[in-house]
Structure 1
């Protein structure tokens, strides 16, 4: 199979799961904003944000190791699973400490048990979904993601609308959905507990896996700072109601993150396979340029639809969230490019330390800027801090890999994509209806500048289907 066809095939398969999952999550926002007040939704978002960092701590981020080590040609999947189960069991026992710790903070007091189980099962489900990716079963992985989010939607309707369990119902929906997702992964992944137990623990392999995954813990924390600390600081400085509105503003840029997730899941396979090819640098640069063009085009389309979509997407009390979405969208554009660099170099080389350093480069300025800008500018200051931190990560990764990868970051076409994205972001703040008109003109300029690349990409996708 040709390299482009292989990449497009995996992109298509991962798109099934990621797009299906994100669409369900996207459609859930009107439900949440309809049954939860901004203050309640702010609390929910804050507590869920905490779960996203507690989960990797409980499992020592072993999901990253199980995926990467299973992709090795000579890997023993049963040994990898044996080590993974040991880590999960040990981590879940130590993780019980979360329950008394939550009593220290007013916002989490009384939610200790439910936060523990939510963090645990979200992390464990991710571990076994990543196992399906590691054994190169992208279709099964995608189906698992769809099952996971569909069940979250079903249980959310039951627990929030029918039973009216409020904040606790939100987290119970996640717990139930992820437990069933784990069962699905065990069945389709043909995980045989007897065979796994028989192989016994491989101490050398366990050490390698933990060395790789544990280095991702501070890296995960750094990314948590960039992705979520702004919500914590908005809650602390302005209030949970403001955080509820700010969290909604993340949902539209999240659509671009879908493209990032889909492509990088597929690209990780191609990057590993291409690591020894003679024209690796030329091929990688060609893909990088197409990614920048495609991401800018999709982002500008979303900017055109942003305000009209918000009017029908959320309740009137949340409409002001549109003001922060363009800046977050610009940040997501840079994040997509930075994630590509990370997959191409750090993931292929199992260089979790490089991931950590780039995370630090973005996280520290993010905290400093949040502390300075939020009191002065409010919510929009948090969005600007996040956007700038994403840009710093991307710039550092390109600089850090300049000898091993030699990405052409400053080509004419890529520079133009950067400029068009920045212009599109600024045009959103022009009074209506002029902003939409100017954005449509900008999109036409994009099509004129990149018609060859966009048509070639569309042609390859049609042939794939």
Structure 2
């Protein structure tokens, strides 16, 4: 099997593990926006933004370090695995104990109910405890098992969300027992409880892998891994700022009487960017191990260039497709028209996530050359852009400013990574062709959405023209790859 076919196969399976759970989770978006007011959804979205940062802190770059050290020295694989598992387990339990002790103080500072903070901390801890098992599946090329557990997690989450928000209210009408469990004024709590149950079940399923890997600790290996992981952690923190701090800043920079409503509107319409997010996430899960495993091949750079071009092409199709048919998607995913006023952010979020995916491709240069500090520099620079633009624009144009900030941040990461990569690990990217496809897709999307107000006939014409040009110019090379 050619390297491209193997990559596509693994990306497809990891994509399945990502897309199917997310498709099931998508059911929750119309559910939440139907049973919750925008301000209630805003509370949920704000706390989830903090959990994104928490996930980064609790894994502290060990996921990427694990990949690097497992492939770097085959003789120490078992000790690398055991050291990573021990490190993550001890740090997570320590974090949970300290934060639960100070949960009331945390709740007061962040302006959340203490019970919400408790749920969030427990979810963070449970999710951190399964980081290594999931990474182990990827490193050992067990995508089927990875997919099964991921999908089962979301099935459990979905089932309990449906039970709590749809079935429980009906049961409570006819039973004193069920009515004692139903608190309609606190729907947000049920969402967190469902998530907590799903995370707990996932840990139980993966506990046998703890036994298989085993606990152990090598101080020398741990120090080397921490040294490698620290820049990744800094990059991850900066990355979480780019990904989630817009919702946090909206909560605190907008007037108190409208902040949570605005966060709810923004967060719901942000979900329409999930099509690109899913594509980028699935691709990243497949490409990261591939980067390290293929780095020693003589044609590695040319392979990376080809992969980046085709990633961009398919990303452009997704961008254009979602923008063209946004009126259909909004009816399915956000049936409550109260949320539709924020739809204007969707093209910006889609493009921002496409840039993020391109950046993941370009980041190969600092990962395979052990220059992870540059990844941190780039992400910190983007985080500064995110913070500055949010602080400047939110008071003026509200959540539209957050969308613009996200686009500017991810766009800057693409430019910086490309420029640094040319110096340290020059990959022969087809810059002119990639830029041409990008500009054409962006132009078609902008004209369709902003000029013709989402007219599907005109948008479909643009989509067909773009796809036709892609097939015309790329079909020969694509067929060559499939025949290898």
Common fold: TM-score over 0.5? yes
> Could you tell me how far 1:92 is from its partner in structure 2?
2.2
- Aligned pair partner of 1:270 in 290, 302, 315: 290
In structure 1, how many angstroms separate the alpha carbons of the residues matched to 2:52 and 2:309? 32
Shift of 1:331: 0.9
Partner of 2:352: 331
Match of 1:207 in 2: 223
Structure 1 segments of 4+ aligned residues over 6 angstroms from their partners = 456-464
1:304 and 2:324 aligned: yes
Q: Where does residue 84 of structure 1 map in the other structure?
A: 85
Alpha-carbon offset, residue 32 of structure 1:
1.2
2:451 pairs with 1:435:
no
Deviations 1:364-402 (A, max 9, x none): 011111111111112111101100110001111111111
Report the CA distance between 1:461 and its aligned residue.
10
Deviation at 1:349, TM superposition (A): 3.5
> In structure 2, what is the equivalent of residue 248 of structure 1?
268
Tell me the residue number matched to 1:196: 214
Task: Please give the alpha-carbon distance, in whole angstroms, between the structure 1 residues aligned to 2:438 and 2:120.
Answer: 40
Q: CA deviation at 1:458?
A: 7.9
Residue 180 (structure 1) aligned with residue 196 (structure 2): no
Structure 1 unpaired stretches of 5+? none
**Greater displacement, 92-101 / 382-391:** 92-101
Q: TM-score, normalised by structure 1?
A: 0.91
Aligned position for 1:227: 243
Shift of 1:327: 0.7
| Pairwise CA distance, 1:300 | 0.6
Report what 2:33 is aligned to: 33
Tell me: CA distance 1:69–1:155, structure 2 relative to 1, closer, same or farther (3 Å): farther
Shift of 1:222: 0.4
**2-side partners of 1:328 and 1:67: how far apart?**
30
Q: Is 2:96–2:121's contact at 8 Å kept on the other side of the alignment? A: yes
Contact 1:62-1:213 within 8 A present in 2 as well: yes
Instruction: Find the counterpart in structure 1 of residue 63 from structure 2.
Output: 63
Residue 459 of structure 1 deviates from its aligned partner by: 6.3
- 1-structure distance, mates of 2:455, 2:401: 22
Cα separation, 2, equivalents of 1:427 and 1:178: 43
How many Å separate the matches in 2 of 1:89 and 1:374? Answer: 40
Structure 2 Cα separation of the partners of residues 363 and 135 of structure 1: 33
Instruction: Provide the residue aligned with 2:175 in structure 1.
Output: none
- 1:453, distance to aligned residue in structure 2 (A): 6.0
- Who is 1:322 aligned against? 343
> 2:174 corresponds to which residue?
none
Shift of 1:11: 1.4
Unaligned runs of 5+ in 2: 169-181
Structure 2 residue aligned with 1:160: 165
In the TM superposition, what is the alpha-carbon distance from 1:106 to its structure 2 partner?
Answer: 5.3
SS in 2 for 1:406: coil
Shift of 1:325: 0.7
Give 2:420's aligned residue. 400
Q: How many residues align?
A: 458
More displaced, 380-389 or 81-90? 81-90
The answer to whether residue 399 in structure 2 is matched with residue 379 in structure 1 is yes
CA distance in 2, matches of 1:259, 1:398: 21
Q: What TM-score results when the alignment is normalised by the length of structure 2? A: 0.87
Distance verdict in 2 for CA 1:402–1:458, change over 3 Å: closer
Query: Comparing 78-87 with 372-381, which one deviates more in the overlay?
Result: 78-87
The Cα shift of 1:57 comes to 2.1
Match of 2:178 in 1: none
SS in 2 for 1:251: helix
Q: In the alignment, does 2:121 pair up with 1:116?
A: yes
Shift of 1:450: 0.9
- Report what 2:176 is aligned to: none
Is 1:63–1:128's contact at 8 Å kept on the other side of the alignment? no
- State the secondary structure of the residue aligned to 2:246: helix
Q: CA deviation at 1:209?
A: 2.0
The farther-off stretch of 350-359 and 27-36 is 350-359
* Cα contact 1:245–1:321 (8 A) shared by 2: yes
In structure 2, what is the Cα distance between the partners aligned to 1:196 and 1:106? 38
Distance in 2 (CA, whole Å) between partners of 1:457 and 1:316 is 45
* Higher mean C-alpha displacement, 107-116 vs 65-74: 65-74
- Residue 105 of structure 2 corresponds to residue 105 of structure 1: no
Q: State which drifts further: 442-451 or 123-132.
A: 123-132
CA distance in 2, matches of 1:175, 1:10: 29
Aligned with residue 449 of structure 1, among 461, 464, 469: 469
* 8 Å CA contact 1:68, 1:134 repeated in 2: no
Q: 1:56 to 1:332 in 2, by over 3 A?
A: closer
